[in-house]
């Protein structure tokens, strides 16, 4: 019984009201308290465009390029209004000898391109 009284006395003395607070996030910024990571970005609320709203046409429809002769393909595109105003056609992985400006793709294949 003596140990129980000592334990309760110790508990009442050292576990005051302020010491019973057990919030591990106390004093942390709001982004941490709310569970938001540091690099949280705002969602993109632009309306999504359907696949049918984008049309890209090429003239000629099949490009034929011959070594040593300049070949051209003209691209044009139409986009139904999806909430944005400007669109750009970009060709990735184009050869170093090729140019793509204002929707016109020009390519002069070097004569050493095909080796037999």
Total residues belonging to the chain = 116
The pTM for the full model equals 0.47
pLDDT in tens, the chain (116 residues): 777 788 777 766 666 655 666 777 888 888 777 877 666 666 666 666 666 777 778 888 887 888 888 889 888 877 776 666 666 777 888 888 889 888 888 988 888 776 65
Tokens of 39: 């690099």
Q: What distance separates the 2 farthest-apart alpha carbons in the chain?
A: 105
How far lies 4's CA from each of 10, 11, 15, 18, 37, in Å? 10, 10, 16, 23, 47
Query: Which of 34-55 are b and which e, b meaning 16 or more Cβ less than 10 Å from the residue's Cβ?
Result: eeeeeeeeeeeeeeeeeeeeee
Give 44-110 as a DSSP string.
--SPPPPGGGEEEEEESSS----TTS-EEEEEEEEE---S--------SS--TTEEEETTEEEE---
Q: Tell me which residue of 49, 107, 104, 106 sits closest to 78, measured CA to CA.
A: 49
């Amino acid at each position: 019984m003596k140990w129980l009284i000592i334990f309760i006395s110790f508990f009442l003395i050292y576990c005051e009201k302020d010491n019973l607070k057990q919030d591990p996030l106390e004093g942390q910024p709001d982004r941490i308290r709310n569970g938001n990571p540091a690099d949280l970005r705002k969602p993109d609320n632009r309306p999504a465009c359907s696949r049918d709203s984008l049309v890209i046409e090429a003239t000629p429809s099949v490009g034929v390029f011959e070594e040593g002769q300049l070949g051209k393909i003209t691209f044009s595109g139409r986009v139904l209004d999806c909430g944005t105003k400007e669109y750009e056609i970009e060709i990735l992985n184009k050869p170093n000898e090729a140019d793509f400006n204002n929707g016109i793709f020009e390519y002069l294949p070097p004569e050493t391109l095909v080796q037999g």
